[in-house]
Chain A
Amino acid sequence: MGALTLARAALLCATLGLFLAPWHGLQDGLSELSAWPGGTAAPLVALLLDGSRWWLWPVALLLALAAPALLRGRAQASLAWIGAGLVLVVFAAGYAIGLNGLNWGWLAPLLGAPPAQPSLGWGALLVLAGGTGMFAAGQAARGRFGADAFVAFLVCGCGFLLLLFVFLPLVNMLSAALYEDGRLAPAAFGARLVAPEAWSLACLSTHQGCGVVWNTLLLATLTAVISTFLGLAFALLAVRGGTRGPISAGAFRAMTILPLITPPFVVSLALIVLFGRTGIVTGFMWDWFDIPRSRWIYGLPGVLLAQVLAQAPIAFLLLDGALRAISPSLEEAASTMGARRMRVFRTVTWPLLKPALAAAFLLAFVESLADFGNPLVLGGDFDVLSTRIFFAIAGARHDPGRAAALALLLLALTFGAFALQALWLGKRRYTTVTGKGDSGLPAPMPKGLKFTCAAVAWPWMIFTAAVYGIILIGGFVHDIGRGDLSFTWRHLGTGFEVDWFDGAPAFIGSAWDSLFTTIQVAAISAPLTAGLGILLAWLIARQNFPGRRGLEFMTMLSFAIPGTVVGVSYIMAFNVPPVELTGTALILVICFVFRNLPVGVRGGIAALAQIDKSLDEASATMGGGAFQTLRRVVLPLLRPAIIAALAYSFVTAMTAVSAVIFLVSARHNLATVYIVGRVEAGEMALAIAYSTVLIVIMLVMVLGIEKLVGRARLGRGSAPTPIRAGA
């Protein structure tokens, strides 16, 4: 696509924003539109003409500057300056003049005492989009981004969004670590970073607990190692286990997806019901084997168990995709040359799995760092950074500076993990899917390995089944916590009562509102997340442009930060003009999109690492632009990664707690926040019943997405199976 087309579209967009759409946000909804083109719904041009926003004249002037050349059909490099100018002017004016008049006092000689300026609205959004488009077109006209305007626009647009919704809120929030009682205090900052609460090693020599950093590291490492290991065992069984035997692949998949679609608190609750001091298993052990009742579940073991239950399936999803994407031709070559199965696996399959293994490890590690629900319920005296940060913000002793310093430490841990991953993978290539014809059949697993996998996977399956059995039963009996197992619909009724008024259903149960909002928000954010994530992955993995590393860094940033910090930083950054989003459903959607983005990006990059670049090059040679290559070559090959990203983002949007606990509002409450409230109030049964409903919905959605998008199949498929079965 040419720079000219893009620049013209951008000009049109910005002009619409200038002349038609209301410049400021509509506080009372669309009813205000009746006042157009005056009142609160006035477009910028009206505001400029009546002089109430005279400082925004540069916007109109810049557009006028860009128009003549574009209309004559020439896209010039100077467009970049005009685009950047538009974005800068709109934001600078928005920040300089807020709800209370002038915010930047040093501008007083220039601006005087301007009237209050509410938040930016649709008009401003269009102008900003236009400005970004012009900036990109200008860059493409200069020959940057391979002179491809499509790539330029994607990079600039994504970069702009990431800056606004990931970087700025975070910097805003973290800068709190530098302040003490509203004054800049570098000494306090240093003291916070090396505080003994974070780094103490007292647990080695005394009965005291260790610093939270050590606790967090230990927990995350254990979780990541065990989850990756389990995920690998499952993936090997699912992909290479052969079609015979007791494994019914469908049930197997459904089963491993179960933990993924569970609200975080519920697994913890089920674990308490099973292994708590008065738990079912504990009671059994006491009655039969005289093993004394203890509280071992509260602390590291319990949190670890709950996290592995949640993370192993994600590792499975990633490794499953990677294993399917490994083209069997190399394995076939190895066995043709006489290598035995074990040797093929050790020297060919395993090394090819390295990127996926690293990705699975990294994901589990980072997820464990950020996990908040499980340590909250099961942590006992075992404190980790995420809970410490939450209580530094929301606890009885409010200290945002301490919270920000702890968040910085958490961030450092995460990036340390990324650095290690990069070190381990090195600069090798992991490409197996090439354009060179057919790939053959995957080799079956070595016997010993298969046995080991089964020995690991099946007990874990039984354990998972027990946990989920508890969750299923728990919602339908009087009180599972105290062992009262008589059947009841009561809990489900409280939450989901439906009455009929005049033939129309009235949803009077207390959980309906939050359920509807949750589904709405998840359904909107999942495709946005998957789309943006895959696009970014493609940009990062396949395009070469300045700032690529920076873009990659920013996509991973939001993942590294615990949800609590994200939530508070969002509410601090987006509660006041120019960008005012709190109290809307939009802030929930944005929060989910940018929080779940890294999963789409990582999955996309891992999958792209295995697709040979020669396919792209073939498309380019035949005259396909970047957009065509993306749509007709890359996207079809990326189907498994897209499914994973869609499913994952839908599911996390329905199960996330910590990030949104500060963002929900009276009108837009979410299911998980409602459940947390029930758990707090001790209504475990209602919490579990609601979770059962959520699980059913998510299961239906995930399976539906999979059906709709379809499973990618690379290679020759299953036709010649009978031959191998006889061998």
Chain B
Amino acid sequence: MSTPRRLLATGFAVTLTALLPAAASAQGTNPGNLTVYCSVQEEWCRPMVQAFERATGVRVAMTRKSSGETMTQIRAEAANPRGDVWWGGTGDPHMQAAEENLTAEYRSPRMSELHDWATRQAEQSRFRTIGIYAGALGYSYNTTELTRRRIAAPTCWADLAKPEFRGEIQVADPNTSGTAYTMLATLLQVMGEEPAFDFLKAMHRNVNQYTRSGAAPARAAATGETLVGITFLHDAVTQKIAGAPVEIVAPCEGTGYEIGSMSIIRGARNMENAQRFYDWALSAEAQAIAGTANSFQLPSNRNAPIPPQAPRFENIRLIDYDFARWGSAAERTRVITRWEREVRAGAR
């Protein structure tokens, strides 16, 4: 009897010791704590958190996960929330969280400093989320592969349906990626529903893979695994700056965009600090961090400097993207189901 008991006790003690540092670090709470769920690249999450810690003295614990995973986590934790602020990630899941009453209403005093598209996001969600950056949709192609195949450089959406791109286009699967759904919604708005599906069917023959992650096609184009990758342009810029032989295209017919958003989680344990972070993250100096962290989205604060490499909205034909209609769950299910039945199921 004595040995298993001793073993149990030892295991118990070891576990306790393991938990101690965590317990200890939770103390000493003068300016308080904050837990941030971050859904942009780690490279950008970290300096943001550090800058906020320096500015306020609040101790921040940050988790980085994709927006889909974060949404799942917030939903699962709804009865007993662990996080305070959800910062970054494409706007749709933020809107969905607002729709499902998972996030809290907050009107920041900095609202007046923001671009219209950012405040419109807030109004549509009854002030439960707000835009912090925007990025246009488009595609990038690998120049080395293009010259090797002697194909004329594509400039429009329509080019992607041409037969010379057979098996050379990569795009994410709208079932798993917000980026791909933005593309569907964009094409439907640019071309109209029926022509858009005709185009998608034609392009389907050229698609070599529907990836699961939205940023994957940009990477594949950068390494030459595919010739064309459809993504948000800022993802492609990141690859280009890393030295990849890619050229970035904002399609000539016009294109849609995402609004990266931020929300405060309903029932946040550190509500005061969450609001402090919210206000700070909307300021020009906080948004200036993006450019130094290899993230080339457009900041939502009108006074924030735009990174020189960022694809500027002035040079892109942006459509008037109807986030309220295309962000709703019913419309999304309808479009994706139709895409699955008529496009994905088709022969290549």
A181-222 CB contacts (< 8 Å) to partner B:
206-208
Q: Is A571 an interface residue (CB 8 A)?
A: yes
CB–CB B222/A482 < 8 A: yes
Of all chain A residues, the one with the shortest Cβ separation from B26 is A29
Contact B66 A520 (CB under 8 A): no
Can you name 24 A-B residue pairings with CB atoms under 8 Å?
A9-B5, A31-B27, A208-B345, A295-B208, A387-B212, A391-B176, A394-B68, A396-B178, A396-B181, A397-B175, A479-B242, A521-B18, A531-B7, A575-B76, A585-B22, A661-B65, A662-B72, A665-B82, A667-B61, A669-B63, A677-B65, A680-B66, A680-B213, A681-B41
Q: Which of B5, B66, B218 has the most CB of A within 10 A?
A: B66
Quick check: which of A86-94, A311-319, A536-544, A576-584 contacts chain B, the rest being far away? A576-584
Interface residues of B in 31-76 (CB under 8 A from A): 35-36, 41-43, 46, 61-66, 68-69, 71-73, 75-76
| In the complex, chain B residues 273-299 whose Cβ is within 8 Å of any chain A Cβ | none
What are the interface flags for A91-102 relative to B under an 8 Å C-beta threshold, 1 for contact and 0 otherwise?
A: 000000001100
- Is the Cβ of A272 less than 8 Å from the Cβ of B225? yes
A358 to B181, CA, bound (A): 45
B24 within 8 A of A: yes
B19 partner, pick from A481, A584, A680, beta carbons under 8 A: A584
Sample of 18 more A-B contacts, CB < 8 Å, known A568-B76, A681-B215: A28-B26, A29-B27, A31-B23, A100-B79, A150-B4, A276-B223, A391-B68, A391-B176, A482-B223, A482-B224, A524-B18, A571-B73, A571-B77, A576-B80, A627-B4, A667-B61, A680-B66, A680-B213
CB contact under 8 A between A682 and B62, given known A396-B174, A586-B19: no
Whether A682 lies near B218 (C-beta < 8 A) is yes
Could you say which residues of chain B place their CB within 8 Å of the CB of A99? 79-80
B263 interfacial by beta-carbon distance below 8 Å:
no
Contact yes or no, B175 A391, CB < 8 A: yes
Check B82 against A393 for contact (C-beta < 8 Å).
no
CB neighbours of A379 from chain B (8 A): 212
Inter-chain contact A662/B19, CB cutoff 8 Å: no
**Nearest-Cβ distance from residue A589 to partner chain B, whole angstroms:** 7
**Does A417 make an interface contact (CB < 8 A)?**
no
Q: Per a CB cutoff under 8 Å, which of B36, B42, B226 touches A510?
A: B42
| Closest 10 A/B residue pairs (Cβ) | A29-B23, A666-B61, A278-B224, A395-B176, A207-B347, A394-B68, A391-B176, A682-B219, A681-B41, A571-B76
Interface residues on B, range: 35 or more
The answer to the question of A5 belonging to the interface, with a C-beta cut-off of 8 Å to chain B, is yes
Chain B residues whose C-beta falls within 8 Å of the C-beta of A666 in the assembled complex: 35-36, 61-63
**A380–B209 contact, CB under 8 A?**
yes
- Write the chain A residue with the least CB distance to B11: A528
Q: Kindly provide the distance from the CB of B212 to the nearest chain A CB, expressed in whole angstroms.
A: 6
Point out the residues of chain A lying under 8 angstroms from B180, CB to CB: 396
Residue-wise, chain A 380-395 has the 8 Å CB interface mask toward B (1 for contact) of 1100000100010111
How far does the alpha carbon of A467 sit from the alpha carbon of B46 in the complex, in Å? 32
Q: How far is the CA of A482 from the CA of B348 in the complex (A)?
A: 29
Judge whether A277 is part of the interface by a CB distance below 8 angstroms: yes
Contact, CB under 8 Å: A682 / B7: no
Closest to A208 in B: B345
Interface membership of A664, Cβ < 8 A? yes
* Contact B72 A394, beta carbon cutoff 8 Å: yes
Give the nearest-CB partner of A588 in chain B. Answer: B18
Inter-chain contacts of A527 with B (CB < 8 A): 11
Decide yes or no whether A376 CB sits under 8 A from chain B. Answer: yes
User: Once the chains bind, are A9 and B1 in contact (CB under 8 Å)?
Assistant: yes
List which A1-40 residues lie within 8 A (CB) of chain B. Answer: 1, 5-6, 9, 26, 28-31
Provide the bound-state CA to CA distance between A664 and B73, in Å. Answer: 10
Contacts known (A29-B26, A391-B212, A396-B176); A510 close to B46, Cβ less than 8 A: yes
CB pair A682–B239 under 8 Å, yes or no, is yes
Chain A positions within 8 Å of B212 at CB level: 376, 379, 387, 391, 395
Q: Across the interface, do B224 and A277 meet the contact criterion of CB distance under 8 Å?
A: yes
Who on chain A is nearest to B34 by CB? A666
Residue B332, interface by CB 8 Å: yes
Q: Is A595 an interface residue (CB 8 A)?
A: no
Residues of chain B contacted by A391 (CB below 8 angstroms) = 68, 175-176, 212
Q: Is B14 an interface residue (CB 8 A)?
A: yes
From residue B99, how far is it (CB to closest CB) to chain A in Å? Answer: 12
Q: How far is the CA of A527 from the CA of B7 in the complex (A)?
A: 11
CB neighbors of B among A432-462 (8 A): none
A589–B15 contact, CB under 8 A?
Answer: yes
- B76, A662: Cβ atoms closer than 8 Å: yes
Could you tell me which residues of chain A, from 384 to 418, have a CB within 8 Å of some CB in chain B? 387, 391, 393-398
B92 interfacial contact with A, CB 8 Å: yes
Q: Which residues of B contact A585 (CB under 8 A)?
A: 18-19, 22
Scan residues 41-97 of chain A and give those whose CB is less than 8 A from a CB of chain B: none
Cβ-closest chain A residue relative to B78: A575
Which of A278, A484, A576, A668 has the most chain B CB within a 10 Å cutoff?
A278
Tell me whether B30 is interfacial, beta carbon within 8 Å. Answer: no
Interface string of A349-386 (1 = CB under 8 A from B): 00000000000000000000000000010011100000
Measured CA separation A379–B97 after assembly (Å): 30
Query: Chain A, 512-539, contact with B by CB distance < 8 Å: what is the 0/1 string?
Result: 0000000011001001100100000000
Is there an interface contact between A665 and B19, defined as CB atoms closer than 8 Å? no
- Which listed residue, B22, B46, B69, B333, touches A394 by the CB 8 Å rule? B69
Bound-state Cα–Cα, A680 to B5, Å: 45
Q: How far is the CB of B280 from chain A (nearest CB, A)?
A: 18
B3 within 8 A of A: yes
B22 CB contact (under 8 Å) in A482, A572, A667, A674: A667
Known: A272-B225, A584-B22. A397 touches B82 (CB 8 A): no
Q: Given contacts A396-B175, A398-B71, A662-B73, are A481 and B43 in contact (CB under 8 A)?
A: no
Instruction: From the candidates A28, A381, A576, name the one contacting B209 in the complex (CB within 8 A).
Output: A381
Q: Are A295 and B209 in contact (CB under 8 A)?
A: yes
Q: What CA separation (Å) do A683 and B180 show in the bound complex? A: 22
Cα(A680)–Cα(B92), bound, Å: 19
Interface residues of A in 526-569 (CB under 8 A from B): 527-528, 531, 568
Whether, in the assembled complex, A427 has its beta carbon less than 8 Å from a beta carbon of chain B, the answer is no
Contact between chains at A665 and B66 (CB < 8 Å): no
Which residue of chain B has the shortest Cβ distance to A297 in the bound complex? B225
- Decide: B43 and A29 in contact? CB cutoff 8 A: no
A454 to B75, alpha carbons, bound, how many Å? 53
Q: Is B270 an interface residue (CB 8 A)?
A: no
Determine if A482 and B77 form an interchain contact, defined as CB atoms under 8 angstroms apart. no
Q: Which of A621-669 contact B (CB under 8 A)?
A: 627, 631, 661-662, 664-669
How far is B21's CA from A586's CA once the two chains are assembled, in angstroms?
13
Inter-chain CA distance A206–B347, complex, in Å, is: 7
CA separation between A5 and B5, bound complex, in Å? 12
A681:B223 contact, CB within 8 angstroms = no
**Does residue B111 face the partner (Cβ distance < 8 Å to A)?**
no
A668 adjacent to B15 (CB under 8 Å): no
Tell yes or no: A678 within 8 A of B by CB. yes
* A135 beta carbon closer than 8 Å to chain B: no
Partner of A580 from B18, B80, B219, B224 at Cβ < 8 Å: B80
Q: How far is the CA of A668 from the CA of B23 in the complex (A)?
A: 12
- Bound Cα distance A627, B176 (Å): 53
B238 within 8 A of A: yes
In the complex, A398 Cα to B333 Cα: how many Å? 10
Per-residue contact bits, chain A 126-156, to B (CB 8 Å; 1 contact, 0 not): 0000000000000000000000001000000
Tell me if B165 counts as interface (CB < 8 A to partner A). Answer: no
Q: Is A298 an interface residue (CB 8 A)?
A: yes
Note all chain A residues with C-beta closer than 8 A to B238: 682
Q: How far is the CA of A568 from the CA of B210 in the complex (A)?
A: 25
Q: Tell me, yes or no, whether B109 is within 8 Å of chain A by CB.
A: no
Tell whether A520 pairs with B1 under 8 Å between CB atoms, given A387-B212, A572-B76: no
Q: Decide: B41 and A381 in contact? CB cutoff 8 A.
A: no
Give the nearest-CB partner of B90 in chain A.
A396
Question: B14 contacts A524, CB within 8 Å?
Answer: yes
